[in-house]
Amino acid sequence: MQTIRRYWPVSSASADHPDKIPNIDKYGIACWSICGTADSFYPNSVSYTNTINSNKPPVSALLTGLQGVGHSAWNQAYDTSWRVNNKNFFEWLLQYHK
């Protein structure tokens, strides 16, 4: 297991302090953003993921855009049968520890 904190916005809304987004890399936080492409906050998820990855973090931030899904991505994200790269959300989360 890697010793890294984790962060997982689902159907993410705007961050209160977008200038703090680079701290995700600074503090070694693994990030997987799961957001519907029809969610009005999807452009924020794209922007935040790009900002994190522009700092070349040890674990690249992931963004999974769910095609046609609105502000309800948690329906897929928390379903244990939903998988991306052979892992569900919980398996991805548990591969890291603080």
Terminal-residue alpha carbon distance, the chain: 10
Angle CA(83)–CA(87)–CA(89) in degrees, nearest 5? 75
- Say if residues 42 and 49 touch (Cβ distance below 8 Å): no
Report how far residue 78's alpha carbon sits from residue 98's, in angstroms, rounded to the nearest whole number.
21
Which one-letter amino acid corresponds to residue 56?
K
Least confident of 5-9, 25-29, 68-72: 5-9
pLDDT at 4: 53
Domains annotated on the chain, with CATH? 2-97 (3.40.50.1820)
pLDDT at 53: 92
Q: pLDDT tens-digit profile of 51-78?
A: 889 988 888 999 999 999 998 898 999 9
Angle CA(13)–CA(15)–CA(19) in degrees, nearest 5? 150
